A and B are shown apart, each in its own frame.
Chain A
Amino acid sequence: MNTNLKTQNDILLQVKNLKKYFPIRNGLFSKVTGNVKAVDDVSFDIYRGETLGIVGESGCGKTTVGRTLLRLLEPTAGSIFYEGENISKYTRSQLRPLRPKMQIIFQDPYSSLNPRMTVGSMLSEAIRVHNIVPNNEVEKEVHRLLDVVGLPKAHSTRYPHEFSGGQRQRIGIARALSVKPELIVCDEAVSALDVSIQAQVINLLKDLQKEYNLTYLFIAHDLSVVEYISDRVAVMYLGKIVEIADAKKIYANTLHPYTKALMSAVPVPDPDKKSDRIVLTGDVPSPANPPLGCTFHPRCPLANEGEVLRSECMSETPILDEKQSQHFASCHQI
């Protein structure tokens, strides 16, 4: 999709200042003594028909963002607009008619399928709950879904433990498709699979996107996978988005120092190429007690230049600014 043509009308999902804190409870009366700020003030838009990739290292809040969007987790603050409707305060029953429009594919293909249900009953359940097709056509629809994800019809009577990881992930995809969704959150959907299967599943996801005009929120930690599938990419660090831009721009012209370090860690399949890897010092700070100012400043090469910490990095939280056209980054130094 040409980014220049994106307008307000094309926004499928809009997230504004989303926060998700997990309280730390202590003592006899479970008093809240602190918060793990898994997602801290995140805002972004997802346009219809695009794939927004979210990358970041483990624990940066990618998965929490995905789950909070679907209200599988309750947001602490902020709003989520789905086609202009603020769904962040909807009750469960209000949310039910919207559920089919947003689906999720999980990371772990082993725990995401109910071991006691056959593939057929798993796929038909949602179809029946939402009356997607008339009752006498449910079986046909289940077979069609299996066909779409490249599994034989006969598998509908099987149980999850009879499948391999890649096949299970296909079943997970078929289940997400069964309710004819508009948005699918792929929560590390391919991370648990080996590389050849990853490629198959990613190509399947791409084909399905074309066929059904799906919108993806693609969460992953593998930068090359994200580059391949995404139209736009958001980079997260410690619960915040530090950079968001078109995939091509972000890979060609990285702005934020954290993204630069991340990019330099991607292995290049060329033994002669000299690695100019940026190695960050220290560990990721605890999200329960993030650093003041820019959360990245203790590890940031720009903030530490000349052995002196820059005062604005230490005291002021940077905002996500449009540093170049359609290229946002949150950093004081660029």
Chain B
Amino acid sequence: MIFKKRTNSESILHKRIRKFKGMKRGYYSFIILVSLYLLSFLNPLLINNKALVVKYNGEYFFPVSKYYPSTTFDQQGYGEAQYRKLDEQFENDNSGNWVIMPVYPFHPNESLLGEIDGEPPHAPTSLHWLGTDNRARDVFARMIYGFNISISFALIVTAIAYIIGITIGAILGFFGGRVDMFGQRFIEIFASIPFLYMVIIISSVLQPSFWLLVTIMSCFNWVGMTYYIRGEFYKEKAKDYVSAAISMGADNRRIMFKHILPNALTPIITFAPFALIGNISTLVSLDFLGFGLAAPTPSWGEIVNQGISDIRYWWLILSPMGASFTTLLLISFIGEGVREAFDPKVHSRLR
């Protein structure tokens, strides 16, 4: 084993990945979160009111990918076929027709007012695991769809904000002098614009769509990263390997992004999980205040807002709280693991 190790050389990044894998809590959190997130892309197949397969009069239909009016199956009513009812009907008929429904046959945006007795919100039952909200929409379905949207949103915002922040920080740190001086002052002025008010003003004029909200958030989120990257670039550019690259005739862009940036990745990677947490929390709070994603989009904050209005509907508070708590906890564990993996003080025997 020792001999094998000697012949394979390991980059610093590989070493850190290996170290991260050794951090059980962080690594398992990472696996759980990533698998849940990847699984949530299959939501339409798992949590939906549209049937996966319908066999009707010897023909096969795949309603998940195609719209069929109710008349296709000689069903009563207008609009799209009601597959849950169809399922019941075919089972009673014994006509050889059948329907395969998703595991959890409710759509997050579908009102179940006609199917459940009583006024919404309905308390949790074995059929509706987390009950319904005040528009009789299934809360569990909304939680799961909201998970995918929250993580996607946070990932995209973090990525865009990082690209902007890293580029600007790199320019400030690498060129220094007057560029740095004026750039820093500009950033300070920019950072003093209150983010929440900007979002409120923009939302009152425009209906915030997913991408508009991503753009607004990215525009206000890059500032923090510039400080770290700027500092790292200041530190790294004074090292001799940069002088060596200059004397080899490498151009500025190559030096900045091929030579210095890989050495300045530590703050980027260690802050990423916490930036994700920040962005998820911001989305939840914006949704809570009603300035987040447009109305029918499944979101955690909106459900909390409903729950706050009447404390008796405990499932409306506890479900989104539990969902965001679990998600943020998993990401915190990942962040903690990453931070440990990047800590050069490995050999400390005090730990």
* Interface status of A116 (Cβ within 8 A of chain B): yes
Question: A104–B244 contact, CB under 8 A?
Answer: yes
Q: Which residues of B contact A159 (CB under 8 A)?
A: 9-12
Question: A115–B12 contact, CB under 8 A?
Answer: yes
Kindly identify which residue among A100, A113, A154, A175 contacts B249, using a CB–CB cutoff of 8 Å: A100
* Interface status of A136 (Cβ within 8 A of chain B): no
Q: Which residues of B contact A129 (CB under 8 A)?
A: 248-250, 254
Question: A179–B248 contact, CB under 8 A?
Answer: yes
* Interface status of B241 (Cβ within 8 A of chain A): yes
Bitwise, A20-32 to B at CB < 8 A (1) or not (0) is: 0000000000000
Q: Which residues of B contact A104 (CB under 8 A)?
A: 243-244, 247
Question: B249–A116 contact, CB under 8 A?
Answer: no
CB distance from A112 to the nearest CB of B (A): 4
**Count, chain A residues at interface, CB 8 A:** 36
Interface residue ranges of A113-134 to B (CB < 8 Å): 113-118, 125-126, 129-130
Question: B244–A112 contact, CB under 8 A?
Answer: yes
A100–B243 alpha-carbon span in the complex (Å): 14
Question: B9–A157 contact, CB under 8 A?
Answer: yes
Question: A70–B11 contact, CB under 8 A?
Answer: no
Q: Which residues of B contact A175 (CB under 8 A)?
A: 244, 248
Question: A116–B248 contact, CB under 8 A?
Answer: no
Chain B's interface size range is: 20 to 34
* Interface status of A64 (Cβ within 8 A of chain B): no
Which chain A residue has the least Cβ–Cβ distance from B263?
A: A116
* Interface status of B163 (Cβ within 8 A of chain A): no
CB distance from A308 to the nearest CB of B (A): 46
Interface residue ranges of B243-289 to A (CB < 8 Å): 243-251, 254, 259, 262-263
* Interface status of B240 (Cβ within 8 A of chain A): yes
Q: Which residues of A contact B12 (CB under 8 A)?
A: 115-116, 159, 161
* Interface status of A111 (Cβ within 8 A of chain B): yes
A99–B248 alpha-carbon span in the complex (Å): 6
Question: B243–A130 contact, CB under 8 A?
Answer: no
Question: A115–B247 contact, CB under 8 A?
Answer: no
Question: B249–A72 contact, CB under 8 A?
Answer: no
* Interface status of B349 (Cβ within 8 A of chain A): no
Which chain B residue has the least Cβ–Cβ distance from A175?
A: B244
A157–B9 alpha-carbon span in the complex (Å): 7
CB distance from A159 to the nearest CB of B (A): 6
A154–B9 alpha-carbon span in the complex (Å): 10
- Top 3 nearest A-B pairs (CB, nearest first) are A99-B249, A112-B240, A116-B262
- List, sorted by A's number, 20 A–B pairs whose CB atoms are closer than 8 Å: A72-B247, A97-B249, A99-B248, A102-B247, A103-B247, A104-B247, A112-B239, A112-B241, A115-B263, A116-B11, A116-B13, A116-B262, A116-B263, A118-B9, A118-B11, A126-B250, A129-B248, A129-B250, A158-B9, A159-B12
